[in-house]
Amino acid sequence: MSCKLQQVGFLGFDVFGTVVDWRSGVARAAAPFLERYDIELDPFAFANAWRALYQPSMEQVRSGARPWARLDILQRENLERLLASHGVAVDDIPEQDLADLTRAWDRLDPWPDAVAGLARLKRRFAIAPISNGHIAGMLQLARFGGLPWDAILGAEISHTYKPQPATYLASLEAAGFAPGQAAMVAAHNGDLRAARALGMHTVFVLRPHEYGPDQDTDLRADEDWDVAAESLAELADILGCA
Protein backbone atom coordinates (compact mmCIF):
# COMPACT_ATOMS: atom_id res chain seq x y z
CA MET A 1 0.00 0.00 0.00
CA SER A 2 1.30 3.44 -0.80
CA CYS A 3 1.67 5.56 2.28
CA LYS A 4 1.65 9.30 1.73
CA LEU A 5 2.96 11.81 4.25
CA GLN A 6 5.05 9.16 5.95
CA GLN A 7 6.96 11.61 8.14
CA VAL A 8 3.76 13.31 9.24
CA GLY A 9 2.19 12.72 12.66
CA PHE A 10 -0.02 15.79 12.92
CA LEU A 11 -2.70 17.30 10.70
CA GLY A 12 -3.68 20.94 11.30
CA PHE A 13 -7.06 21.87 9.84
CA ASP A 14 -8.55 25.01 8.53
CA VAL A 15 -12.14 24.83 9.81
CA PHE A 16 -14.44 27.48 8.30
CA GLY A 17 -15.05 26.21 4.78
CA THR A 18 -12.78 23.18 5.01
CA VAL A 19 -14.51 21.22 7.79
CA VAL A 20 -17.78 23.09 8.34
CA ASP A 21 -20.25 24.75 5.98
CA TRP A 22 -20.44 28.26 7.45
CA ARG A 23 -22.67 29.64 4.68
CA SER A 24 -25.65 27.36 5.28
CA GLY A 25 -25.34 27.60 9.05
CA VAL A 26 -25.13 31.39 9.13
CA ALA A 27 -28.00 31.69 6.64
CA ARG A 28 -30.11 29.34 8.79
CA ALA A 29 -29.55 31.50 11.88
CA ALA A 30 -29.96 34.76 9.97
CA ALA A 31 -33.29 33.94 8.30
CA PRO A 32 -35.56 34.49 11.34
CA PHE A 33 -33.49 37.50 12.42
CA LEU A 34 -33.84 39.17 9.00
CA GLU A 35 -37.54 38.50 9.02
CA ARG A 36 -38.05 39.80 12.58
CA TYR A 37 -36.28 43.06 11.80
CA ASP A 38 -37.72 43.44 8.31
CA ILE A 39 -34.36 43.41 6.61
CA GLU A 40 -34.83 42.66 2.93
CA LEU A 41 -31.81 40.51 2.31
CA ASP A 42 -31.54 36.90 1.22
CA PRO A 43 -30.09 34.90 4.16
CA PHE A 44 -27.38 33.38 1.97
CA ALA A 45 -26.39 36.76 0.58
CA PHE A 46 -26.33 37.99 4.18
CA ALA A 47 -24.01 35.14 5.14
CA ASN A 48 -21.64 35.93 2.28
CA ALA A 49 -21.70 39.65 3.05
CA TRP A 50 -20.89 38.97 6.72
CA ARG A 51 -18.08 36.64 5.70
CA ALA A 52 -16.74 39.27 3.28
CA LEU A 53 -15.90 41.48 6.28
CA TYR A 54 -13.87 38.66 7.88
CA GLN A 55 -10.52 39.15 6.15
CA PRO A 56 -10.51 42.97 6.37
CA SER A 57 -11.25 42.82 10.10
CA MET A 58 -8.42 40.34 10.72
CA GLU A 59 -6.15 42.47 8.56
CA GLN A 60 -6.49 45.25 11.14
CA VAL A 61 -4.95 42.92 13.69
CA ARG A 62 -2.34 41.49 11.32
CA SER A 63 -1.14 44.95 10.35
CA GLY A 64 -0.86 46.04 13.97
CA ALA A 65 -3.46 48.78 13.44
CA ARG A 66 -5.30 47.28 16.40
CA PRO A 67 -4.23 44.92 19.18
CA TRP A 68 -5.18 41.26 19.31
CA ALA A 69 -8.94 40.64 19.37
CA ARG A 70 -10.64 37.25 19.30
CA LEU A 71 -12.70 36.25 16.30
CA ASP A 72 -16.01 36.46 18.18
CA ILE A 73 -15.28 40.13 18.86
CA LEU A 74 -14.51 40.76 15.19
CA GLN A 75 -17.58 38.85 13.99
CA ARG A 76 -19.82 40.86 16.30
CA GLU A 77 -18.34 44.16 15.09
CA ASN A 78 -18.72 42.99 11.50
CA LEU A 79 -22.35 42.10 12.11
CA GLU A 80 -23.09 45.58 13.41
CA ARG A 81 -21.23 47.14 10.46
CA LEU A 82 -23.16 44.98 8.00
CA LEU A 83 -26.52 45.80 9.55
CA ALA A 84 -25.71 49.51 9.62
CA SER A 85 -24.71 49.42 5.95
CA HIS A 86 -28.23 48.19 5.21
CA GLY A 87 -29.79 51.05 7.12
CA VAL A 88 -30.60 49.04 10.25
CA ALA A 89 -30.58 51.00 13.53
CA VAL A 90 -28.36 48.54 15.40
CA ASP A 91 -28.88 50.28 18.74
CA ASP A 92 -32.58 49.41 18.58
CA ILE A 93 -31.89 45.66 18.41
CA PRO A 94 -31.77 43.87 21.76
CA GLU A 95 -28.28 42.81 22.83
CA GLN A 96 -29.44 39.22 23.20
CA ASP A 97 -30.49 38.99 19.55
CA LEU A 98 -27.16 40.34 18.32
CA ALA A 99 -25.27 37.96 20.63
CA ASP A 100 -27.36 34.99 19.53
CA LEU A 101 -26.85 35.72 15.86
CA THR A 102 -23.11 36.09 16.37
CA ARG A 103 -23.11 32.64 17.93
CA ALA A 104 -24.30 31.27 14.58
CA TRP A 105 -20.56 30.84 13.91
CA ASP A 106 -20.46 28.30 16.78
CA ARG A 107 -23.31 26.20 15.31
CA LEU A 108 -22.30 25.21 11.82
CA ASP A 109 -22.89 21.83 10.25
CA PRO A 110 -19.81 19.85 9.27
CA TRP A 111 -19.64 18.99 5.57
CA PRO A 112 -21.27 15.55 5.16
CA ASP A 113 -17.91 13.74 4.88
CA ALA A 114 -16.17 15.57 7.70
CA VAL A 115 -16.98 13.72 10.94
CA ALA A 116 -16.38 10.23 9.57
CA GLY A 117 -13.31 11.43 7.69
CA LEU A 118 -11.78 13.03 10.77
CA ALA A 119 -12.49 9.94 12.86
CA ARG A 120 -10.57 7.82 10.34
CA LEU A 121 -7.70 10.30 10.03
CA LYS A 122 -7.45 10.46 13.83
CA ARG A 123 -6.47 6.79 13.94
CA ARG A 124 -3.19 7.62 12.23
CA PHE A 125 -2.63 11.32 12.94
CA ALA A 126 -3.08 13.73 15.80
CA ILE A 127 -5.67 16.22 14.54
CA ALA A 128 -6.44 19.76 15.62
CA PRO A 129 -7.76 22.99 14.16
CA ILE A 130 -5.22 25.57 13.06
CA SER A 131 -8.03 28.01 12.46
CA ASN A 132 -8.51 31.73 12.86
CA GLY A 133 -11.44 30.88 15.12
CA HIS A 134 -11.10 31.32 18.88
CA ILE A 135 -10.86 28.36 21.24
CA ALA A 136 -14.38 28.68 22.71
CA GLY A 137 -15.90 28.89 19.23
CA MET A 138 -13.94 25.86 18.04
CA LEU A 139 -15.02 24.01 21.19
CA GLN A 140 -18.68 24.80 20.55
CA LEU A 141 -18.37 23.83 16.88
CA ALA A 142 -16.79 20.54 17.88
CA ARG A 143 -19.59 19.77 20.30
CA PHE A 144 -22.30 20.93 17.91
CA GLY A 145 -21.06 18.82 15.03
CA GLY A 146 -19.19 16.01 16.78
CA LEU A 147 -15.73 16.94 15.50
CA PRO A 148 -13.27 14.60 17.27
CA TRP A 149 -10.27 16.93 17.66
CA ASP A 150 -7.34 15.88 19.82
CA ALA A 151 -6.72 19.51 20.83
CA ILE A 152 -7.74 23.00 19.74
CA LEU A 153 -4.96 25.20 18.42
CA GLY A 154 -4.86 28.19 16.07
CA ALA A 155 -5.03 31.97 16.25
CA GLU A 156 -5.79 32.26 19.97
CA ILE A 157 -2.62 30.33 20.80
CA SER A 158 -0.42 32.89 19.03
CA HIS A 159 -2.59 36.02 19.09
CA THR A 160 -1.99 36.35 15.35
CA TYR A 161 -4.19 35.51 12.37
CA LYS A 162 -3.33 33.20 9.49
CA PRO A 163 -1.56 33.51 7.15
CA GLN A 164 0.86 35.08 9.62
CA PRO A 165 3.61 32.53 10.26
CA ALA A 166 3.20 32.64 14.04
CA THR A 167 -0.30 31.15 13.87
CA TYR A 168 1.04 27.96 12.30
CA LEU A 169 4.34 27.89 14.19
CA ALA A 170 2.92 28.53 17.67
CA SER A 171 0.26 25.88 17.07
CA LEU A 172 2.87 23.31 16.02
CA GLU A 173 5.14 24.25 18.92
CA ALA A 174 2.24 23.75 21.34
CA ALA A 175 1.34 20.42 19.73
CA GLY A 176 4.95 19.25 19.85
CA PHE A 177 5.53 18.73 16.14
CA ALA A 178 8.12 20.30 13.83
CA PRO A 179 6.74 21.75 10.55
CA GLY A 180 8.18 18.80 8.62
CA GLN A 181 6.21 16.39 10.84
CA ALA A 182 2.94 18.20 10.17
CA ALA A 183 0.55 18.90 7.32
CA MET A 184 -1.91 21.75 6.87
CA VAL A 185 -5.31 20.68 5.53
CA ALA A 186 -7.29 23.48 3.88
CA ALA A 187 -9.73 24.31 1.12
CA HIS A 188 -7.84 27.56 0.53
CA ASN A 189 -4.71 27.75 -1.59
CA GLY A 190 -3.47 30.80 0.29
CA ASP A 191 -3.52 28.93 3.60
CA LEU A 192 -1.45 26.14 2.06
CA ARG A 193 1.02 28.58 0.50
CA ALA A 194 1.71 30.06 3.93
CA ALA A 195 2.05 26.59 5.50
CA ARG A 196 4.40 25.35 2.77
CA ALA A 197 6.62 28.40 3.17
CA LEU A 198 7.17 27.30 6.77
CA GLY A 199 8.07 23.73 5.85
CA MET A 200 4.71 22.09 6.53
CA HIS A 201 3.28 19.47 4.22
CA THR A 202 0.11 20.52 2.41
CA VAL A 203 -3.28 18.92 1.74
CA PHE A 204 -5.86 20.61 -0.45
CA VAL A 205 -9.52 19.69 0.03
CA LEU A 206 -11.85 20.92 -2.70
CA ARG A 207 -14.92 22.74 -1.34
CA PRO A 208 -16.39 24.24 -4.51
CA HIS A 209 -19.59 25.49 -2.87
CA GLU A 210 -18.21 27.05 0.29
CA TYR A 211 -19.34 30.44 -1.01
CA GLY A 212 -22.37 29.09 -2.85
CA PRO A 213 -23.13 28.08 -6.42
CA ASP A 214 -21.24 30.99 -7.99
CA GLN A 215 -17.96 30.49 -6.19
CA ASP A 216 -15.01 31.53 -8.33
CA THR A 217 -12.09 31.01 -5.94
CA ASP A 218 -10.20 27.90 -4.81
CA LEU A 219 -11.91 25.74 -7.42
CA ARG A 220 -8.68 23.84 -7.91
CA ALA A 221 -5.25 23.27 -6.44
CA ASP A 222 -3.11 26.20 -7.59
CA GLU A 223 0.15 24.45 -6.75
CA ASP A 224 1.38 20.88 -6.53
CA TRP A 225 0.23 20.38 -2.99
CA ASP A 226 1.38 17.09 -1.47
CA VAL A 227 -2.15 15.70 -1.52
CA ALA A 228 -5.41 16.91 -3.06
CA ALA A 229 -8.78 15.36 -2.26
CA GLU A 230 -12.45 16.10 -2.77
CA SER A 231 -13.47 15.21 0.78
CA LEU A 232 -12.00 14.18 4.11
CA ALA A 233 -13.24 10.65 3.40
CA GLU A 234 -11.22 10.59 0.19
CA LEU A 235 -8.28 12.04 2.10
CA ALA A 236 -8.50 9.18 4.61
CA ASP A 237 -8.54 6.74 1.66
CA ILE A 238 -5.49 8.38 0.09
CA LEU A 239 -3.59 8.38 3.38
CA GLY A 240 -4.39 4.73 3.97
CA CYS A 241 -6.48 5.27 7.07
CA ALA A 242 -8.69 2.23 7.66
Binding site for a copy of itself (CB under 8 A): 126, 128, 134-140, 142-143, 148-153, 156, 174-177
Which residue's CB is nearer to a copy of itself, number 57 or number 171? 171
Which residue's CB is nearer to a copy of itself, number 41 or number 139? 139
Are 194 and 202 in contact by the 8 Å Cβ rule? The answer is: no
Instruction: Report which secondary-structure segment, H or E, holds 144.
Output: helix 135-145
Minimal distance, residue 218 CB to a copy of itself, in Å: 28
Which residue's CB is nearer to a copy of itself, number 114 or number 153? 153
Are 115 and 146 in contact by the 8 Å Cβ rule? The answer is: yes
Rounded CA-CA distance 94/90 in Å is: 9
Rounded CA-CA distance 201/183 in Å is: 4
Extended beta strands in the chain, E state: 10-13, 126-131, 153-154, 182-186, 201-205, 227-229
Minimal distance, residue 155 CB to a copy of itself, in Å: 12
Minimal distance, residue 66 CB to a copy of itself, in Å: 20
Are 40 and 11 in contact by the 8 Å Cβ rule? The answer is: no
Which residue's CB is nearer to a copy of itself, number 8 or number 138? 138
Minimal distance, residue 157 CB to a copy of itself, in Å: 8
Which residue's CB is nearer to a copy of itself, number 27 or number 141? 141
Minimal distance, residue 126 CB to a copy of itself, in Å: 6
